[in-house]
Structure 1
Amino acid sequence: MKKSLLLVAHGSRREASNDEVRALTARVREADDARFALIDCAFLELAEPDIPGGIQRLIDAGATHVTVLPYFLAAGRHVSEDIPEAVAGKQAEHPDVQIEIAPYLGTSDAIPGLLLTMLADSTAAAS
């Protein structure tokens, strides 16, 4: 089974913001301990590839299992409705590929510590 990860962000009219997501994806790829054979990103709207396109790119590259990771802090409409709808459409097209949606970023127990670490780092740099 060729496992893959698709980091899904909102997308922005500001291309520099989309490039930040692409750069984060590259950093995740570099940090991965070979858990995923493929790691890519996609956007809900305003940027390419969209979610179906991102899933398709991974499938075309040989993915047989796709984990979609919503890069969102809260469970608004995009997390609760839009992303699952986009994933369901691709799942229907590719019943032989396992496509799952991971919990969105905001649910991670690591977030509080991450925020405090960021603040400590920025406070130390300002001293």
Structure 2
Amino acid sequence: MGTHGMILFGHGARDARWQEPFQRLAAKLAAARGDAGPVSLAFLELMTPSLPDAIASQAVAGCDTITVVPVFFGQGGHVRRDLPALIAQCQSEHPGVRLRCAGAVGEDDAVLDAIVRYCIENERA
């Protein structure tokens, strides 16, 4: 059985502080996964690494499966159009690596439930 990498994929921003919660999320995910495989960040624009660079890095590190998790609130144009094109490009560049893509995290009911709990907790604060 090979190594399974994960890449958290975000939009990117001009302000470097924007990626701080993504870095915390990546650290928490890496800790939760233990030695299951590497966890990386990648960005569509304005920040590095790009998704192709992050996938190439994990492939070189020996990952034979990589799951890309779009850390977007919804399935907008970037997730519906740009991301599949990037995944297809990367798959052609790394035919020996199985690339999987999750849905946008904000589309998941468990994530929405966590946000509801957060909102209610802040209502009471």
How far apart, in 2, do the equivalents of 1:18 and 1:110 lie? 22
Worse overlay, 70-79 or 23-32: 23-32
Provide the TM-score with structure 1 as the length reference: 0.89
1:78 and 1:20 mapped to 2: Cα distance? 20
Which residue number corresponds to residue 72 of structure 1?
72
Residue 12 of structure 1 corresponds to: 13
Q: Quick one: distance in 2 between partners of 1:25 and 1:114?
A: 18
What's the CA shift string for 1:4-39, capped at 9, x where partnerless? 1100000010100123312221111112355x4111
Rounded Cα–Cα distance in structure 2 between residues aligned with 1:19 and 1:59: 25
Structure 1 position 87, deviation (Å): 1.2
Give the aligned partner of residue 28 of structure 1: 29
> Residue 84 of structure 1 aligns with which residue?
84
Which residue type is aligned with residue 30 of structure 1?
Answer: A
Calculate the aligned-residue CA RMSD, in Å. 1.5
TM-score, normalised to structure 2's length? Answer: 0.91
**Residue aligning to 1:109:** 109
Distance in structure 1 (CA, Å) of the matches to 2:29 and 2:55:
17
List gaps (5 residues or longer) in structure 2: none
Q: Report the equivalent of 2:53.
A: 53
| Matched residue SS, 2:109 | coil
Aligned partners of 2:113 and 2:94: how far apart in 1?
38
Q: What is the total number of aligned residue pairs between the two structures?
A: 124
Q: Describe the SS at the equivalent of 1:64.
A: strand
For the residue of structure 2 that corresponds to 1:49, the secondary structure is coil
Residue number in structure 1 paired with 2:97: 97
Give the aligned partner of residue 4 of structure 2: 3
SS in 1 for 2:59: helix
